Amino acid sequence: MKRGRGKFCPRCGTQNNVGDAYCIKCGYGFKGRKKKSSLKSILILIIILAAGWIILRTFLKKPIIPTELIDIIKNMSASKAG
């Protein structure tokens, strides 16, 4: 392999061919990295939405979990128990 061609493994630093899907030394997968970043993005979005919900409910001086939802859950629990 000529120097300057290829890609380096972020895990072990070994130089690999451009088309390699896995590192020739440690087996690191070059493909599929976008799934982790999109999963991370989804998790961040969920955290932001939850924080926004809490801030909004606090600003409106309402309980974070609506009382209607609590009543529905209590009714469901009571019907299953009895």
* Alpha carbons 57 and 70: distance in angstroms, whole number: 15
Q: Are residues 27 and 40 in the same domain?
A: no
Asked if 22 contacts 30 with a C-beta cutoff of 8 angstroms, the reply is: yes
Q: Are residues 22 and 61 in the same domain?
A: no
Task: State the residue range of the domain holding 74.
Answer: 34-82
Q: Are residues 1 and 26 in the same domain?
A: yes
Q: Record the pTM.
A: 0.47
pLDDT reported for residue 36: 58
How many domains is the chain partitioned into structurally? 2
The CA-CA-CA angle for residues 43, 44, 48, to 5°, reads 120
Q: What is the pLDDT of residues 7-50, one digit of tens each?
A: 999 999 999 998 888 999 999 988 865 555 688 889 999 999 99
* Alpha carbons 68 and 45: distance in angstroms, whole number: 26
